[in-house]
Amino acid sequence: MDAQSVKNTDCAEEKGYDAGKKVSGIKRHIAVDTEGLPHTIEVTTANISDKAGAKTMIAKQAAELQKVSNVLVDGGYNGAPFAEFIDEQLHATVEVAKRNELHTFAVIPKRWVVERSFAWLEKCRRLWKNCERKLTTSLAMIQLAFISLLLKRL
């Protein structure tokens, strides 16, 4: 599970400001399986925190995610309240993949899967920036991009 902030174009009606990434736009929240295929996607304004967006995403799709036993997240999702929410909604454990203490680049085991899914989205030129007026249209474009990727695999 991870989130990605995306810049908006001028036509977007709904936008927020992500102070951490210094991006005015939207935030894509995504939960993928071990192969990088999406199980649930949520689009919010960029001012919504990663945890709050993930909670909204999980709450909407809890019935479809009941077979999930372990949720791998990055350091932005740490904390007991988030872990308790996941346990309450999905009866799953939360595993936080942390970076090592050295300030060098290293691929974090298993974390590359969700990052690769975001990279697949970046191959779609329309998704480089948010060109849509409504958040629901942005969500639909992301879903279409993943459907296109799945069809290419057949």
Tell me the domain boundaries of the chain: 2-153
pLDDT at 107: 64
- What is the CATH architecture assignment of 2-153? 2-Layer Sandwich (3.30)
Burial class, 21, CB count within 10 angstroms (exposed 0-12 / middle 13-18 / buried 19+): middle
pLDDT in tens, the chain (154 residues): 999 999 988 878 888 899 888 999 999 999 999 888 999 999 999 999 999 999 999 999 999 999 999 999 988 898 899 999 999 999 999 998 876 655 666 666 677 889 899 999 988 888 888 888 999 999 999 999 999 988 988 7
Q: Helices (H), strands (E): how many in the chain?
A: 4, 6
> What six digits make up the tokens of 5?
């902030």
pLDDT at 137: 93
Burial class, 1, CB count within 10 angstroms (exposed 0-12 / middle 13-18 / buried 19+): buried
